[in-house]
Amino acid sequence: MGLLVVIVALALCAAWAQAALPNGICSYSSLAVLGPGSMRAANNFSPLSQFKGCGYAVADNAFLGLVDTSAAPRVAAEASYAFAHEAPVYLPALKQIFFVSNRLGNTSGVTQFIELNTLDISTGTVTKLPETLGNSLAMSNGATNLPGTDDSIALLTQGKGDWQPGAVNKLNLKTLKHEVLLDNYLGRQFNSPNDIAFFKDGRTLFFTDPPYGFAQNFKLQPQLGNYVYAYDTVSKIVSVAADGFVKPNGVAFSPDYKTAYVTDTGMADGTGPSGFNPANPQTIYAFDMETAKSGKSGSFFPTLRNRRTFAVAETGLPDGIRLDVQGNVYTGTGAGVEVFAPSGKRLGTVLIEGGVANLVFADKVLYALNEKRIIAVQMRVPGAKLP
């Protein structure tokens, strides 16, 4: 039965889908006064009725200089199941976007799994990578380009059960060879590593480690706090770079690498809508990147300082996070793709029904993972350059 589902889904993906979403423009200013009885609950992810039929909701005209609102977002690929959820990485040399599915199979226990896929952006063809690879790289969730290569990624696996630890891995998408770069914090298992970004030095990687694996029935009880880690891939030393999160999730840097952004999806405990607590963060935090040397003989060590609240999501949680070359911030939420200026000012939203978990720039196209669809949004600016 599982096999049949996969075959049907691949057949659906193979066609270069071109369906377009609505491209009408609505305004956030229409929400200023709603009146009694018109407010919605935190777990209501359906589009605001004021935005029905619109493709975009604008808060500031700067949004129109970033997103090409003359073009409707289009469906770049689709399937009959949640094949497009996390870990999107664009590899220009391969003309591919790597991405992974949501949790599939029996999500009550450790037989659940996550598929690894690629999208060829010139043909729209989706290719499912071998199941054996998905089993070795168990419960993959976050990824980014591996600096110095054009065919490899750094991939986070959350791990499974109490025997397969969460890890930072290197995966070559041409040969499918992979190796573990880091699988513990000084002897203790990570909780369930979620998202990853390299600092400008191309050697220090930062990753988030929320405890979703335990809540989602595939990991042992958390052995550590909900930290953001810094791992120096050359010295092989891992450090805690920041704490104070409920569920640290997406991580990204400004184009000048002076600012780090970390999303906190603490509002969701990972068990679905029944586990939403709106008193917990649905927040993007900004930090200064401190890059001083540690002492005279110490080596360069970038870390996160001066935490501040950057933005709160319109709907649901800010999950994945990306920046454009100008430093504007894009995050996947229950509303679609919410966009903020470097100041934190809300600029607008690309409205995508069903929400967006993670997203990635391929030059001037923003690919948004919408579970059963990948939505391509035409931009006027390219993404920030990664190291």
Ligand X SMILES: *[C@@H]1O[C@H](CO)[C@@H](O)[C@H](O)[C@H]1NC(C)=O
By the criterion CB under 6 A, which residues form the site for ligand X?
A: 106, 108-109
Q: How far is the CB of 161 from ligand X (least distance, A)?
A: 11
Residue position matching structure tokens 């952006």 = 121
Q: How far apart are CA 108 and CA 40, in angstroms?
A: 30
Q: Where are the beta strands (DSSP E) in 46-115?
A: 54-58, 74-78, 86-91, 96-100
Q: How far is the CB of 108 from ligand X (least distance, A)?
A: 4
Q: How far is the CB of 51 from ligand X (least distance, A)?
A: 38
Give the bridge partners for 229, in sequence order: 207, 240
- Give me the residue whose beta carbon is nearest to ligand X: 109
Helix (H, G, I), strand (E, B) or coil at 46: coil
Q: Which is nearer to ligand X, 82 or 329 (CB)?
A: 82
Q: Which is nearer to ligand X, 65 or 109 (CB)?
A: 109
Q: How far is the CB of 109 from ligand X (least distance, A)?
A: 3
Helix (H, G, I), strand (E, B) or coil at 62: helix
Q: Which is nearer to ligand X, 190 or 218 (CB)?
A: 218
b/e code 265-304 from CB counts within 10 Å (16+ = b): bbbbbbeeeeebeeebbbbbbbbebeeeeeeeeeeebbbb
Q: Which is nearer to ligand X, 38 or 108 (CB)?
A: 108
Q: How far is the CB of 375 from ligand X (least distance, A)?
A: 32
Residues contacting 373, CB < 8 A, separation 6+: 75, 76, 77, 78, 84, 354
Q: How far is the CB of 34 from ligand X (least distance, A)?
A: 42
Q: Which is nearer to ligand X, 212 or 261 (CB)?
A: 212
Q: Which is nearer to ligand X, 31 or 110 (CB)?
A: 110
